[in-house]
Chain A
Amino acid sequence: MSYLEYNTKFVPTGPRKLLYLNWPVILLICAVATFGFLMLYSVAGGNPGTWMLPQLKRFGIGLALMLVVAMVPIWFWRNMSVLAYLTALALLIAVDFFGEVGMGAQRWIDLGFIQLQPSELMKIGLVMMLAAYYDWLPAKRVSNPIFVALPLILIAMPVMLTLVQPDLGTALLLLLGGGAVIFAAGVHWAYFVTVIAAGAGAVFAVFKSRGTPWQLLEDYQYRRIDTFLDPANDPLGAGYHITQAKIALGSGGWTGRGFMQGTQSRLNFLPEKHTDFIFTTLAEEFGFAGAFGLLLLYALIIIFCVSSALTNKDRFAALLTIGIATTFFLFFAVNMSMVMGLAPVVGVPLPLVSWGGSAMLILLVGFGLMQSAHVHKPR
């Protein structure tokens, strides 16, 4: 069922919309971002100008953008879904040809005023596209193989494009984020069971084939896997980062070593300490209390999003909210797993905390969409 078929007179208009915003989520977002500002201040050695102030400015812009997006009715965004997806896809293709090379991968496109990462745009674009697709698709066709294949292609295209960059982290987020929307849309269990079984089989085959003539990966790729499984094997090479990150994290203890007192971070043992590994500094300086506190803030954001989705009778809005919440969840879950040695290092920032504009803006736009869904939910 869709909005046009609803009576929209109960939908708030004008400034009254502000009262209908999901304020707990906004407050939680601000709290999480505050953690980020503190950590950026700390890793810069107490110099706010290095990272904290620019980040604060960007957060301000992002927050404003979020409110603007939230004020626009959700049906407008639904109508924009296909356009958003296609734009992101076109930019992704463009970046493979004209992109700037940064951090060993082609990810950026320089628009003059901002360096745009189309893969970030795609994280929202894909979720919007899939939500719109299932909003359009009649319920009884959801598990029809033909209508299952189409969203799979919609997911596969951006995943392939980010894989060749190569940006394993984004590819993973797109895959799982898209999968979550399809799952929530009600596609039959059997499809997921098949895919998971196939994935497990593939992993098994990869490991089993090692050293045999039909080995599936190159030797260096196996070595990377080894390093992930046991970083101590290569403490000064590829395993160095993860080993140092674990040391920083572990040495935090219950209450941490104190703000700006983390030796691992202050003495530069930590890699990328203002971007992907910022959580390790946080955990070192604020300890288990701080790290677990941040995790709880994240979990609360997810809970509020899911409950908003559950109470929203509009299919597009509900699926979009679930998709955005899952994408956000994947950001912090993958990042934390990575720095705690539970997952390989795949370059995913800690959402709203790590230094970097693209991810923060796109996440805040995503929360803007979620707020729009919340404000304009059928009542």
Chain B
Amino acid sequence: MKRPTRSDALIQRRFSRRALVLGGLQAGVVGVLGWRMHSMQVDHADEFRMLAEENRINIRLLPPARGLIFDRNGVLLAGNEQNYRIVITREDAGDIEEAFARLTKLVDIDPELVERAKEEMARRSPFVPVTIADRVAWEDVAKITANAPALPGITADVGLSRVYPLGSDTAHVVGYVGPVSDYDLTEGYLAEDDDPLLQIPKFQVGKTGAESRMEDQLRGSAGTRRIEVNALGRVMRELDREDGDAGADVQLTIDAHLQRYVQARLEGESAAAVVIDTETGDIRAMASSPSFDPNLFVRGISVADYNGLLNDNHVPLSGKAVSGGYPPGSTFKLVTSLAALEAGEVEPEETIWCGGYTNISGIRFHCWRPGGHGNVSFHESIKQSCDCYYYEASQRVGIDKMAEMARKLGLGVRHDLPLSAITPGIAPDKAWKRERYGEEWRIGDTVNASIGQGYVLASPLQLAVMTARVATGRSVTPRLVHTIDGVEQPSGRGESLGLNENNLRRLRAAMYDVVNHQRGTGYGTRTVLDEAKIAGKSGTSQVRRITPEERARGVTSNDDLPWNRRDHALWVDFAPFDNPRYAVCVVVEHGGGGSSVAGPIGRDITLQALYDGDPPLEAYPSNMRGRMAEQQEHIRGLAAQGATATIRA
């Protein structure tokens, strides 16, 4: 046995030293690891715990049910219906081709939809449900449910979608909804809206009419669902759920029954009509013809249908009752006459000579009646609608006072209703022309304006407001929303306009004779029952200039002109005469004579409003009753086929 040498002892000591250094180094590293663990798990545990929760928990929005829209009597105008969809989940379906083969054998589905669904499935994770078909009939849903075992991964799903039971009858008032667009969010009316609901793909928002202008009230607030997801985004379970608040129900002032009638009565014309309750300003009916079915837009309108609507020269998409600006023609004489009386520039009994025309600064202005009216008083000027009287009167009053009166009566002023594209119209004055054209006002402009031609433009709504204000002497303000979420909205009754009551009474009396006097322009639209006496004013406004040559040849009949160059026919009235309840305006674009075309429509609508349904035939003069009975029958037919049965909520 060999003894350990000195060098062996030396190397043994060195090994021990080195081993301890190594051990020390390792202990140091263990210390660092332990310190790091402590730092992360104890000192910063809360931060990491929060990050873990953020990882794990996703918040999904639950879209609220959109508020319903009713008419004043509780008839549903815009509702939500259950919408059945067929949905497929790839991971549950197994063989996709096989699944689709079975599905199409069972239910009739457009092959294009199947292709689209396959494409989308290829893009998405296997657990994401992909919609194959939307708005599936209940029978098909029943078939799928019954055959569920043979259709793995395919399920029927239900959601809410908007429906308009009255269809085209309320299209312009209620409007329609559609999927929120990039335009809505960047430049449109939702640009300032940061509601997270808008980030949901294809979330439905109001696009036109009350649906868009009352979006805030109708939309409601989002509910939330907190779900636990795994790293791939798969939903593991629902942690909790907080249902959102459904949108507020809105009740409009519209009377669905009257609305249908008006819409049907305008059938075939490019026309608009407004019925205002003179007591409250409530808009009982507001129609624009032709109309369209808003349900088409909710379901996704076809290109052909949409182009058809766009290219129609009667512009069905436009709500002419508020967005159409028309020269009001002789209906504007209510403004001119009242301005003249109020200013004291004409005396009620004073007569002005009408020889068929008036020469003003070298230009000949014609009266509508070629031979003239002779000596015309205030009363007669309205009754017979003499133009020369107003050429003279307007020169005495001046345009600024006329414009002031026009604004007082609600023309040239934007009435803010929850509707799209409301025109403010034009009540021109000197400042307006300078501003607009940079030109001085000329006397000829005043003369043109006195009979509602030239620069003057007004919408049917404004003319109805004007009539209501004349009828009541109050500043009646139109109101379209009756209640929101059961809360009554302020009435549009309005305060007194501060006009001389005698002047108003004279004007109303003259309007009464327009309809009820043999020589009144609207005698053809008279009614015979005392309870239904109408006072009105017709208007026929030119959309083209009549050249001296034409006049020399004799007035060209409207019927010989192309449609879009014919005169607009206008009518305003209120009734009953002694205790006004409704003011009505009818405008028939290029319809021809105001009293012959628009007048009868106005009368029928007025009677319908007064009697809350078809009026007794006795209201009409005896020689008209047979024809009226036929017409009522016809319109009932139209209204019945116009839309599906009204749903009472």
Enumerate chain A interface residues (CB-CB to B < 8 A): 1, 5-7, 139-140, 142, 180, 183-186, 244, 246-254, 263-264, 267-269, 283, 287-288, 291-292, 295, 298-299, 302-303, 306, 309-310, 313, 315, 318-319, 322, 326, 329, 333, 336-337, 340, 342
Contacts and interface: CB of A to CB of B under 8 A. Distances in A.
A246 B37 CA distance: 10
A349 B56 CA distance: 27
Interface string B204-239: 000000000000000000000000111110001000
Contacts of A298: 30
Q: Tell me what chain B mostly uses at the interface: helix, strand, loop, or mixed.
A: helix
Given A184-B22, A306-B23, A251 B45 contact: yes
Contacts of A186: 11, 14-15, 18
A247 B20 CA distance: 36
Interface string B26-59: 1101101110111011101101110111011000
Given A6-B1, A184-B15, A249 B41 contact: yes
Given A183-B22, A326-B26, A342 B7 contact: no
A292 B42 CA distance: 12
Interface string B1-22: 1101101101110111011111
B22 A249 contact: no
B122 to A, nearest CB: 22
9 contacts: A184-B15, A184-B18, A185-B15, A250-B45, A251-B49, A267-B230, A322-B19, A326-B22, A342-B36
Contact of B11 (A5, A139, A267): A139
Contacts of B26: 299, 302, 326, 329, 333
Contacts of B30: 295, 298-299, 302, 333
A267 B236 contact: yes
Contact of A322 (B22, B230, B231): B22
A291 B12 contact: no
Nearest to A306: B23
The 5 closest A-B pairs by CB, nearest first: A250-B48, A267-B230, A251-B52, A288-B41, A253-B45
A341 B40 CA distance: 10
A267 B1 contact: no
Given A180-B22, A186-B18, A267-B231, A248 B33 contact: no
Contacts of B236: 267
Contact of B23 (A251, A254, A287, A302): A302
A180 B18 CA distance: 9
Contacts of A269: 52, 55-56, 230-231
A184 B41 contact: no
Contacts of A247: 48, 51-52, 55
Contacts of B12: 313
A337 B22 contact: no
A5 B1 contact: yes
Given A1-B2, A342-B36, A287 B41 contact: yes
A263 B1 CA distance: 65
Given A267-B229, A326-B22, 17 more contacts: A1-B8, A139-B11, A142-B11, A183-B21, A186-B15, A247-B51, A248-B48, A250-B48, A251-B45, A253-B42, A263-B53, A267-B55, A295-B33, A302-B23, A329-B29, A333-B33, A340-B40
B644 to A, nearest CB: 50
Nearest to B36: A340
A184 B23 CA distance: 10
A283 B37 contact: yes
Nearest to B32: A342
Contacts of A250: 40-41, 44-45, 47-49, 51
Contacts of B16: 310
Contacts of B51: 247, 250-251
A319 B11 CA distance: 12
Nearest to B18: A184
A342 B15 CA distance: 31
- Kindly name the residue among A7, A268, A319 whose own CB sees the greatest number of chain B CB atoms within 10 A: A268
Contacts of B20: 306, 310
Contacts of A183: 18, 21-22
A336 B22 contact: no
A280 to B, nearest CB: 11
A264 B52 contact: yes
A268 B232 contact: yes
Contacts of A185: 15, 18
Contacts of A295: 30, 33-34, 37
Interface string B101-113: 0000000000000
Contacts of B19: 184, 306, 309-310, 318, 322
A254 B18 contact: no
Contacts of A263: 52-53, 55-56, 228
A329 to B, nearest CB: 5
A283 B34 CA distance: 12
B424 to A, nearest CB: 54
B228 A267 contact: yes
Contacts of B14: 186
A322 B16 CA distance: 11
B40 A249 contact: yes
Interface in B43-90: 44-45, 47-49, 51-53, 55-56
A179 to B, nearest CB: 10
Contact of A140 (B7, B44, B55): B7
Nearest to A333: B29
Given A140-B7, A269-B231, A326-B26, A291 B37 contact: yes
A277 to B, nearest CB: 13
Contacts of A142: 11
